[in-house]
Amino acid sequence: MIAKPALSIALLCFSFTAQAQTKLTQEQQLGRLLYQDKNLSTNRNQSCETCHALTGISHDATSQSTPAFVDPQNSKNGTPVSLGSIPYATGTLNAPSAGYAAFSPIFHWDETEGLYVGGQFWNGRAADLVAQAQKPFLNPVEMAMPNEWAVVSRLKENARYARLFLNLYQLDLNAVPHIKDALFQQQAPEVVSDIFQHAAQAIAAFEKSAEFNKFNSKFDYVMAGVTRFTALERQGLALFNDEQKGNCAACHPSNISTDDTGKKIPPLFTDFTYDNIGLPRNLNIPGTPEPDLGLGGRADIRKIDPDRAELGKHKVMSLRNIAITPPYGHNGVFATLEQITHFYNTRDTLAAVPDNRSPGFGISGWPKPEVGKNVNHDELGDLGLTAAEEKAIVAFMKTLTDDYPEWGNDPSVPPGTQSPFTVDIQ
Ligand code: HEC
Ligand code: HEC
C-alpha cells in the first residue's frame, strides 16, 4: 500500500461536466480494428478481444450486459486461464481486465514510498500500454505469431490498414515485402519494427478511449449525489475503508485523487503497487505450472533485489467491474467475490487444507501460499469480520459495475445518463 491519508468521501466535491467525448479519433479507430482482428494471430482465430472482450455476458437476468474486458470463457466457466491461437496452448495466468488499465503509471520505483508502482501485467514487466500491446502477438501461448515481420505482413493484407498507416504515421505498408517472399535468412527490413510499434501505439490509444474507461457505475453516481447506496452497500463501503475492519482501501483506494494539473480523478480502487496476499496455488491450471514468482521473479528485478523482497508480489488490480470478472487473483484460484473476501478475512485463522481441489477449500481451511516469502500479515489475513460484514463488503463491490444507467433499473439514473466525470487520459 501507499501511505496516503484517506479522504472522507463526504468532503469531496465533483465537477458536473459532460461526459468525455466518446467519438474515437482516427488513431483510436485504427486501434479498434487491430484490437478485433483475428488475422493478427497465427491461426487467424484470436485477437485481443478474444481475451479482453468488448461486449459483455449478462451479469443479471434483467440486465443488458456490460463489457468487462476479460476472457468471457473464463468468467462463464470459471476456468483460470485462456486458450491460445494454437490448439491446447494455454497461459499460466488469469487475464486481467484491460478496462481502466490505461491509468497505471509507467513502471517505476517510488523513492518516497520505497516500493515499485505501475506498469502492465501482473508483474509489471511492460512499462506501459504500448509496450504491453506488442507482447500478445508474439507470445506462443497467445496469438503466437513467429516475429514482427510476420505480423506486419498480415497488416499488409488489409488495404484499409495501408491507408491508415500512411495517413497517420507516414508509414508505407506496401513498401515492405511480404515475409513469404523473403529470401532464405533475410533480415527484416528496418521499418518493420517501426510499423509494429505503431500498431501497438494505435491499440494503446484505443484503450485510452472512454469505451474502456466509463466511470458510470452505481458508485460513481452515488459519489456525485445522483442516487443512493442501499444500507448494506453503505455499510460495505465503510468496512472497505475502515483500517480496523476490512482495510481494503489501504491498497484499493476508494477516494478521489488529483492528477498533475489539479484535476479530480475518480478512484480506480488500486494504488498500482505490488503485494503478496498469500494466494494459494491453483492446481486447475493446465500443466500445473511452477509457482508464479511475480514481480520478484523478473530477471531485471531479481538482479537488483538480493533480499528477494519482491518475490511473490503481484500488481494490485483495479476493482472496477470486479463483480463481472471472475475468477479472481493472478492464478484465478478464487471463484467468487464471497470466496476472496472470506480469504482476506480468515486466511490466517482457518485450518489448513492441502490444496484448492480439497472439498474443504475456503470452508474448513486454506492451502499454504503459492509463494511463502513476503506474505502480507500486517494488513490482511485475520480481519475479524462477521459473515454479515463480509456480505456487506461484497455488496459494495457489486456497485462498481459500469453501465449502471442501463442495468441498474434506478429511476434516478435512467438509461443513457452520462458519467458524472470527465476524465482524459494522456
Ligand atoms: C490468449 C489470451 C490473451 C490475448 C489474445 C491477449 N491477452 Fe492481454 N492478457 C492476457 C493475460 C493472461 C494477461 C496477464 C498476463 C501477465 O500478467 O503476464 C494479459 C494482460 C493484459 C493487460 C495488462 C492489464 C493490467 O492491468 O496489467 C493488457 C492491457 C492487455 N492484456 C491487453 C491486451 C491486448 C492489447 C491484446 C492484443 C494485442 C491482448 N491483451 C491479447 C491474455 C490475453
Ligand atoms: C496489502 C494490499 C491489499 C489489501 C489490504 C487488499 N488487497 Fe485486494 N488485492 C491486492 C493484490 C496485490 C491483489 C492481486 C493479488 C494476486 O493476484 O496475487 C489483489 C486482488 C484483489 C481482488 C481480485 C482482483 C482480480 O482482478 O482478480 C479482489 C476482488 C480484491 N483484491 C478485493 C479486496 C478486498 C475486498 C479487500 C479487503 C477485504 C482487499 N482486496 C484488500 C492487494 C490488497
Lookup: cell for 20: 468525455
* Whole-number Å distance between alpha carbons of 323 and 244: 24
Q: For ligand 2, is residue 344 a contact (CB within 6 Å)? A: yes
Nearest protein Cα to ligand 1, atom 3: 51
Nearest protein Cα to ligand 2, atom 34: 248
* CA 344 from centroid of its chain's CA atoms: 20
Would you place residue 246 in the very low, low, confident or very high pLDDT band (cuts 50, 70, 90)? very high
Which residues make Cβ contacts (< 8 Å) with residue 288, sequence separation at least 6? Answer: none
Lookup: cell for 292: 508464479
Backbone Cα Rg of the chain: 22
Contacts 24+ apart (CB under 8 A), 104-113: 104/128, 104/272, 104/315, 105/272, 110/2, 113/2, 113/3, 113/273
Q: Are 326 and 336 in contact (CB under 8 A)?
A: yes
Residue that is written with C-alpha cell 506486419 in the block:
152
pLDDT (average), residues 370-380: 98
Q: What's phi and psi for 355, nearest 5 deg?
A: -160, 180
Cis-peptide into 411, omega within 30 deg: no
Distance 425 CA to ligand 1 centre (A): 20
Q: Are 29 and 35 in contact (CB under 8 A)?
A: no
Please give the torsion angle defined by the CA atoms of residues 408, 410, 413 and 415, in that order, rounded to the nearest 10 degrees.
60
Q: How far apart are the first and last CA of the chain?
A: 24
Residue 345: name the closest of 392, 311, 305 by CA: 392
Question: What's residue 63's pLDDT?
Answer: 55
Would you place residue 1 in the very low, low, confident or very high pLDDT band (cuts 50, 70, 90)? low
Phi-psi region for residue 233, left (φ > 0), alpha (ψ -120 to 50) or beta?
alpha
Q: Are 271 and 251 in contact (CB under 8 A)?
A: yes
Distance 262 CA to ligand 2 centre (A): 28
Q: For ligand 2, is residue 247 a contact (CB within 6 Å)? A: yes
Q: How many CB atoms lie within 10 A of CB 198?
A: 18
Atom of ligand 1 nearest to the CA of 143: 5
Nearest protein Cα to ligand 2, atom 42: 316
- 267-284 burial by CB neighbour count: b if 16+ within 10 A, else e? bbbbbbbbbbbbbbbbeb
Proximal ligand: closest to the CA of 247 = 2
Residue that is written with C-alpha cell 508483474 in the block:
123
Nearest protein Cα to ligand 1, atom 9: 95
Question: What's residue 16's pLDDT?
Answer: 30
Chain mean pLDDT for the chain: 92
Q: Read off the pLDDT of residues 42-67 as tens digits, 9 standing for 90 and up.
A: 999 999 999 999 998 665 545 557 89
Q: Are 77 and 63 in contact (CB under 8 A)?
A: no
Question: What's residue 7's pLDDT?
Answer: 36
**pLDDT tops 90 at residue 171:** yes
Distance 317 CA to ligand 2 centre (A): 7
pLDDT (average), residues 405-410: 93
pLDDT (average), residues 133-145: 98
Nearest protein Cα to ligand 1, atom 35: 133
* Whole-number Å distance between alpha carbons of 19 and 7: 24
Proximal ligand: closest to the CA of 400 = 2
Please give the torsion angle defined by the CA atoms of residues 238, 240, 244 and 247, in that order, rounded to the nearest 10 degrees.
-150
Question: What's residue 12's pLDDT?
Answer: 31
Proximal ligand: closest to the CA of 281 = 2
Contacts 24+ apart (CB under 8 A), 189-196: 189/149, 192/148, 192/149, 192/152, 193/148, 195/152, 195/155, 195/165, 195/171, 196/134, 196/137, 196/148, 196/151, 196/152
Nearest protein Cα to ligand 1, atom 26: 101
Residue 426: name the closest of 119, 204, 124, 196 by CA: 204
* Whole-number Å distance between alpha carbons of 197 and 155: 13
Least confident interval from 176-190, 206-220, 340-354, 389-403: 176-190
Distance 205 CA to ligand 1 centre (A): 16
Nearest protein Cα to ligand 1, atom 43: 51
Proximal ligand: closest to the CA of 72 = 1
Distance 127 CA to ligand 2 centre (A): 21
* Whole-number Å distance between alpha carbons of 14 and 226: 11
Question: What's residue 270's pLDDT?
Answer: 97
Lookup: cell for 241: 475503508
Lookup: cell for 423: 476524465
Q: How many CB atoms lie within 10 A of CB 222?
A: 21
Percent of the chain whose predicted confidence (pLDDT) is above 90: 86
